[in-house]
Amino acid sequence: MPVFSQQFEEVKDIEEKGILYNRIQTFGVLVHSGGLGITYRPGKMTSGYSSLQGDFQLLNMKHPKEVKSVNPFSDNNSGYIYGKLNSVFIARSGIGIRKTLNPKESKGSVEISWSAYGGASFGIAKPIYLSVYYFDDQNGVTERIERYNPDNHYPDNIAGRASGLKGWDESRIYPGLYASAALDFEFGKEKERLRIVEVGSCIDIYPNAIPIMAFNEPSHYFFTFFLRILVGKKWNK
């Protein structure tokens, strides 16, 4: 009986460690040095320790000199960024690899992996619209919704920000490329359920520079650091 018990434990341990999944899928949110975003990654396991994954992301990109202002004499409580020409969003679509450096030795341990992704990056620049004061002897004070123009709009005649929906039909798309690299830390007791914390950096490059702030040079690239939290699963298909 003692021999049979030992054999059972060995077989059970081999079965748990020997399950090979061929599909992987994760969803996540990220905080980066220029804003926030979301991520979706479907993929295929190429071996027990590596995978090939698609990478789809949507995020916003702020300029480091953005400062929120509020006109104290206006009833418009929505603050605005003085000098901001465009709100910039980035859509990434690419492919990458993830490879395990230190696999889980037990259910409660942490698996460490590295990953690298790259592909197309599309910068989306949506013009900023503001509510602007106008003064004349006949009508007194009136407000108009206008696209921000640094030559005509100043802190003393800006009432506040217009609706965020205004200007989407005038958005411009800037095609480019991106590349990222990261370290992944996978937690969780269930091998098929994924809980991953990812830290890394990414660069987006555009042939045509994207203007964000009126009094600064347009940007040909954005280099960011990020923290991403992913959840997902592995399964066989």
Residue 211 φ then ψ, to 5°:
-80, 130
Residues 32 and 125: their CA atoms lie apart, in Å, by: 19
| pLDDT over threshold 80, residue 110 | yes
* Distance between start and end Cα atoms, the chain: 39
Q: Where residue 18 falls among pLDDT bands split at 50, 70, 90?
A: low
Mean pLDDT of the chain: 89
Q: Could you give the count of Cα atoms lying within 13 Å of 185 in the half-sphere of its Cβ? A: 10
Q: Are 229 and 197 in contact (CB under 8 A)?
A: yes
Q: Supply the DSSP string of 135-185, one letter for each residue.
A: EETTTEEEEEEEE--TTT--TTTEEEE--TTTTGGG-EEEEEEEEEEEEEE
Q: What is the CATH number of the domain that holds 47?
A: 2.40.160.20
pLDDT tens-digit readout, 23-73: 999 999 999 999 999 999 999 999 888 999 999 999 999 999 999 999 888
Please report the pLDDT score of residue 2 as a whole number.
53
Share of the chain above pLDDT 70, in %: 91
Match 């061929």 to its residue by tokens. Answer: 22
Q: Could you tell me how many residues make up the chain?
A: 237
Give 47's contacts (C-beta < 8 A, 6+ positions apart).
Answer: none
Is pLDDT of 105 > 60? yes
CA nearest neighbour of 209 among 94, 118, 125: 125
Task: Report DSSP state, residue 222.
Answer: E
Q: How confident is the model at residue 7 (pLDDT cuts 50, 70, 90)?
A: very low
pLDDT of residue 223: 98
Q: Which amino acid is at 115?
A: S
Question: Domain of 103?
Answer: 2-235
Higher pLDDT, 189 or 226: 226
Query: pLDDT by residue (tens digit) across 115-139?
Result: 999 999 999 999 999 999 988 877 7
| Cα separation values, 208 from 11, 166, 211, 218, 221, Å | 60, 24, 10, 9, 9
Q: Are strands 111-127 and 172-187 parallel, antiparallel or unpaired?
A: antiparallel
- Higher pLDDT: 224 or 6? It is 224
What total number of domains does the chain contain? 1
* Range of 108-117, 160-169, 217-226 with top mean pLDDT: 217-226
